Amino acid sequence: MIMSSNVSTLLVQAIGALFIGAVFAHFQRAFHHGYLRHWTHSWFAAAAMLAMAAIRNIIRETGEPAGVVYFALGVVTAVAALLRIVWLLFGAWELTADRTVPRARARQLVGAAIVLGAASALLPLLFGQGTVDDGSGAPALVRTMIRAGLGGFAFAAAAVLVLRARPWHAGLGHRLVGISFFAYGAEQVHYVGIALWTWATGHTIGYQPLLNILDFLLQFFMALGMVIWLLEDERRSAVDAATQIEHLAYHDALTGLPNRQLFLDRLDVAIASAHRSGGQLGVFFLDLDRFKLINDSLGHSVGDKLLQVVSRRMRTLLRDDDTVTRLGGDEFTILVPTVEHVDDATAVARRVREALKLPIVIDGRELFVSASIGISLYPNDGDDADTLLRNADTAMYRAKNQGRDTIQLYAPAMNARALEQLTLENRLRRALPNGELELFYQPIVAMQTRRVAAMETVLRWRHPELGLLSPDSFIALAETTGLIVPIGEWVLRTACRQLRQWQEAGLPELRAAVNLSVRQLQQPDFVPLVSEILAETGITSETLELELTESMAMQSDGDTLGKLRELKRLGVRISIDDFGTGYSSLSALRLFPADSLKIDRSFVGDIVTDPDDAAIAEAVIALARSLKLQVIAEGVETREQLEFLRDHQCDYWQGYLFCQPRPASACSAMLSREVMVRQSLGLIRG
Ligand code: C2E
Ligand code: CA
Ligand code: CA
């Protein structure tokens, strides 16, 4: 009678385990959770263990417990018992740690479980000194105690892990699973007690059928809990996905800032509220200066990181009810919903500008950005969202044209300003044919010999109404309109012609340095043009030096690089102008066919007073040395600066200290003195 109750218990449990295993397997196929796979294995192992144990009991009942089959079944039962525990714990661990059990480790532990299980099946041989294990003696007791004890411990541990995997209030499902795991563990421990009691008293317990029901119920709750849990998780991830989709629709993916749509929505609300209260609001349009350059020279990932830092800075700087938006690229807008006075708006813009100016470190590299900001105010500059945004944009463009890093308010005068630019452009178109352009020349002096080595040409426009204009006020316009191409050709030809005169007047080695726009280089016939001008004016290519600003140089593509190399092969010298203001990468610099670097005058200006600028100048010189380039310092205005540069082995210098750019006639006088000095030096030597 004892045996058959045991058999029925085991069979009930086996069916329950099989059922749960099937449920887990089904869900695993649908949800692909790693823990479900482990638990499927665990419950199938449990089913196998229980079924084998039941068959062993039947064999014992029929009185043949000594055969090989009986023993083999014992081994399988023991192994399955351990595997069940190992897999249960794998699943629970994966749930808590949110990581998969490493494959190699999993294999080791499963292997260990198999070996240990098989070894434990040998227990009866040890205990019984050869006697047969009939399931009622000490070996059976030890076996039950180990198996149920381990099971109890494993389920309790799994319960703790499951309950800790989610917050208590996260849902009913995981609580149900956790609690039923715990109860099941307790039931297993209880079986240890029963086994002890049976062994000590020789009586069986009378409430086994109740335990069978409890067992079945617990298995049922585990399965039910798991179903609820998965449904809850599914619902939660659907809700999360919906929130995320909504966020994506209204936010910029890179920076997480609101996008144009959300900005316009909020602007509409703010306009309505300002209208009711009779207040003002401000719309800022911000564009980073030279961002394209950073993107092109340092790569898009650096550009992206920079945009993220800039966004964070603005977000932390502004108040919570201000909206910062990335419209796209390096364009941002800010909505300040309440502005008392115009000065408040400019103060906000100034704060943003200053915050952006602080160095930004990305991948160990320090970057400096500045921004041009345009501001429009409601109701002065527009009474709907579109107009305000458009006018802030216009104001930003004006800021850009005024030399970047500036703030501009939109004002009705803006239209007058646009008109002015147009007029200037029309005039510039006629400047060349009208003979209004002039070249000024500024000497470049060799540090060692103190002799004039080259004359750099700078362009001037004698505007009929505005007087003598410097290039800053029209070169950018000439570049955007393409006028720089014919103008540049004229500059090159005039400079070479002038150089020829000076060379013939006694300075045969004097060079001409000519500023070049990248637009000129992009012309397909630029190289032949240079050869033609050299032939026409009769100067040698070695005495022509072309200056390309660092930012232009770093933007050059394969085509322009090819042309520069061709020019260099012809013997023309190439100089990188305004060095230190762009973002040269060492690798790009190494590939660039330059002969010399010109340290930008902004560093030279503070070389004696600002240790940072001194360090930059020193670094540029060292860099040039390592790349076998010559160094020219421009903008030298004081003796101290010159001495510093001489001490640091700068090759050439240029600046007001020697002389300002002057017309050719004025330079001719200076150069004839130069000829005389050289002759007298020659006389002394001779
Ligand atoms: P750049 O090539 O760097 O030219 C040097 C500028 O620095 C000149 O200004 C010159 O007057 C100024 N400078 C020279 N020495 C000193 C000094 O000691 N102190 C100070 N504070 N400034 C000094 P400029 O003539 O106004 O030229 C401005 C820029 O316009 C030039 O910078 C160059 O990039 C561009 N540019 C001039 N001529 C041409 C041209 O023919 N073609 C092109 N594409 N660009 C030109
Ligand atoms: Ca130059
Ligand atoms: Ca320069």
What single-letter amino acid sits at 555? Answer: Q
SS3 490: helix
User: How many A from CA of 458 to the centre of ligand 1?
Assistant: 6
User: How many A from CA of 529 to the centre of ligand 3?
Assistant: 24
How many angstroms separate the CA atoms of 345 and 410, rounded?
12
What is the per-residue pLDDT across 530-539, written as a single tens digit (0 to 9) for each?
A: 999 999 999 9
Domains of the chain in sequence order = 5-246 (1.20.1070), 260-411 (3.30.70.270), 430-579+592-670 (3.20.20.450)
Span 253-269, mean pLDDT?
93
First-residue to last-residue Cα distance in the chain? 135
User: How many A from CA of 498 to the centre of ligand 1?
Assistant: 18
Long-range contacts of 166-172 (CB under 8 A, 24+ apart): 170/232, 171/228, 171/229, 171/232, 171/233, 171/236, 172/225, 172/228, 172/232
Is the separation of the CB atoms in 421 and 401 below 8 Å? yes
Closest atom of ligand 1 to CA, residue 516: 44
Q: Is the pLDDT of residue 417 over 80?
A: no
What is the per-residue pLDDT across 172-220, written as a single tens digit (0 to 9) for each?
A: 999 999 999 999 999 989 988 888 888 888 888 888 788 888 888 888 8
Span 645-662, mean pLDDT?
96
Q: How confident is the model at residue 520 (pLDDT cuts 50, 70, 90)?
A: very high
Pocket of ligand 1 contains residue 458 by CB under 6 Å:
yes
Give the burial class of 310: count Cβ atoms within 10 A of its Cβ; 0-12 exposed, 13-18 middle, 19 or more buried: buried
Contacts of 488 (CB under 8 A, 6+ apart): 516, 517, 519, 520
Pocket of ligand 1 contains residue 470 by CB under 6 Å:
yes
Pocket of ligand 1 contains residue 656 by CB under 6 Å:
yes
Is the separation of the CB atoms in 290 and 551 below 8 Å? yes
How many angstroms separate the CA atoms of 473 and 475, rounded?
6
Q: Residue 686 has what pLDDT?
A: 32
Q: How confident is the model at residue 278 (pLDDT cuts 50, 70, 90)?
A: very high
- DSSP β-bridge partners for residue 288: 371
Number of C-alpha atoms within 13 angstroms, CB side, residue 590?
4
User: Residue whose CA is closest, atom 8 of ligand 1?
Assistant: 458
- In 3D, which of 455, 451, 433 has the Cα closest to residue 443? 455
Q: Residue 2 has what pLDDT?
A: 46
Q: Quick count: other Cβ atoms within 10 Å of Cβ 184?
A: 22
What is the per-residue pLDDT across 117-138, written as a single tens digit (0 to 9) for each?
A: 888 877 666 655 444 455 556 6
Q: Residue 139 has what pLDDT?
A: 67
Pocket of ligand 1 contains residue 515 by CB under 6 Å:
yes
Span 338-360, mean pLDDT?
88
Residue of 442, 489, 515 to test ligand 1 pocket, by largest number of atoms within 8 Å of CB:
515
Please name which ligand lies nearest the alpha carbon of 458: 1
Number of C-alpha atoms within 13 angstroms, CB side, residue 336?
27
Maximum average pLDDT range among 136-150, 279-293, 346-360: 279-293
Rg over CA atoms, the chain: 43
3-state helix/strand/coil string of 499-522: HHHHHHCCCCCCEEEEECCHHHHC
Q: Residue 555 has what pLDDT?
A: 78
Pocket of ligand 1 contains residue 545 by CB under 6 Å:
no
Q: Is the pLDDT of residue 413 over 60?
A: no
How many angstroms separate the CA atoms of 55 and 76, rounded?
12
- In 3D, which of 499, 495, 514 has the Cα closest to residue 575? 514
Q: How far is CA 259 from CA 264, 318, 325, 579, in A?
A: 9, 17, 5, 37
Please name which ligand lies nearest the alpha carbon of 575: 2
User: Residue whose CA is closest, atom 10 of ligand 1?
Assistant: 661
- Lowest average pLDDT, out of 15-24, 63-72, 427-436, 495-504, goes to 63-72
DSSP letter for each residue of 590-638: HHS--SEEEE-HHHHHTTTT-HHHHHHHHHHHHHHHHTT-EEEE----S
Greater pLDDT, 148 or 582: 148
User: How many A from CA of 670 to the centre of ligand 2?
Assistant: 21
**Backbone phi and psi for residue 223, each to the nearest 5 degrees, phi listed first:** -65, -45
Give the burial class of 660: count Cβ atoms within 10 A of its Cβ; 0-12 exposed, 13-18 middle, 19 or more buried: exposed
Q: Is the pLDDT of residue 257 over 90?
A: yes
What single-letter amino acid sits at 150? Answer: L
Beta-strand pair 360-362/365-367: antiparallel
Closest atom of ligand 1 to CA, residue 517: 44
- Lowest average pLDDT, out of 417-421, 515-519, 569-573, goes to 417-421
Q: What kind and span of H or E run contains 574?
A: strand 573-579
Q: How far is CA 388 from CA 207, 259, 402, in A?
A: 83, 16, 21
**Backbone phi and psi for residue 69, each to the nearest 5 degrees, phi listed first:** -60, -45
Maximum average pLDDT range among 291-295, 635-639, 682-686: 635-639
Is the separation of the CB atoms in 53 and 65 below 8 Å? no
- Report DSSP state, residue 251: B
Q: Is the pLDDT of residue 301 over 70?
A: yes
Pocket of ligand 1 contains residue 578 by CB under 6 Å:
yes
Pocket of ligand 1 contains residue 475 by CB under 6 Å:
yes
Q: Residue 131 has what pLDDT?
A: 44
User: Residue whose CA is closest, atom 21 of ligand 1?
Assistant: 635
Residues measured by CB to lie within 5 Å of ligand 2, the ion: 515, 547, 577
How many angstroms separate the CA atoms of 63 and 47, rounded?
24
- DSSP β-bridge partners for residue 667: none
Q: Is the pLDDT of residue 685 over 90?
A: no
Q: Is the pLDDT of residue 258 over 70?
A: yes
Q: How confident is the model at residue 5 (pLDDT cuts 50, 70, 90)?
A: low
- Whether a cis peptide bond, with omega within 30° of 0, leads into 379 is yes
Look at the pTM and tell me if it is higher than 0.85. no
User: Residue whose CA is closest, atom 25 of ligand 1?
Assistant: 458
How many Å is the maximal CA-CA distance in the chain? Answer: 135
Residue of 437, 445, 457, 458 to test ligand 1 pocket, by largest number of atoms within 8 Å of CB:
458
As a whole number, the mean pLDDT across the chain is 89
How many angstroms separate the CA atoms of 371 and 291, rounded?
9
Q: Is the pLDDT of residue 368 over 70?
A: yes
User: How many A from CA of 587 to the centre of ligand 1?
Assistant: 28
- In 3D, which of 626, 625, 521, 616 has the Cα closest to residue 578? 616
